[in-house]
C-alpha cells in the first residue's frame, strides 16, 4: 500500500489498529453534512 500512496493512487494508508477510529470519524463527519439543493430555475416544457 505504501507504493500506491507514493504514486498518489490512494489518499492514505490506515494501520489495522486505527481502522475502527478512522471509520467512526468518517461516519461522524458525514452525518453532520448538509447538502443544499438549489431550486429549479426552469420547469419541464410542454410538448
| pLDDT value of residue 36 | 87
- Identify the pLDDT of residue 47: 72
pLDDT digits (tens, 9 = 90+) for 1-24: 889 989 999 998 999 999 999 999
What separation in angstroms does the CA of 11 have from each of 5, 16, 23, 46? Answer: 7, 16, 15, 47
Question: What pLDDT, on the 0 to 100 scale, is given for residue 18?
Answer: 95
Tell me the Ramachandran region of residue 39: left when phi exceeds 0, alpha when psi lies from -120 to 50, beta otherwise: beta
Show me where the domains of the chain are located: 2-27
pLDDT at residue 15, rounded to an integer: 93
Q: Looking at the whole model, is its pTM more than 0.75?
A: no
Give the model confidence (pLDDT) of 21-46 as tens digits: 999 999 999 998 888 888 877 777 77
Amino acid at each position: 500500500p505504501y507504493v500506491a500512496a507514493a504514486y498518489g493512487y490512494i489518499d492514505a494508508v490506515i494501520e489495522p489498529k486505527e481502522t475502527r477510529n478512522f471509520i467512526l470519524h468518517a461516519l461522524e463527519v458525514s452525518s453532520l453534512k448538509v447538502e443544499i439543493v438549489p431550486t429549479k430555475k426552469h420547469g419541464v416544457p410542454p410538448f
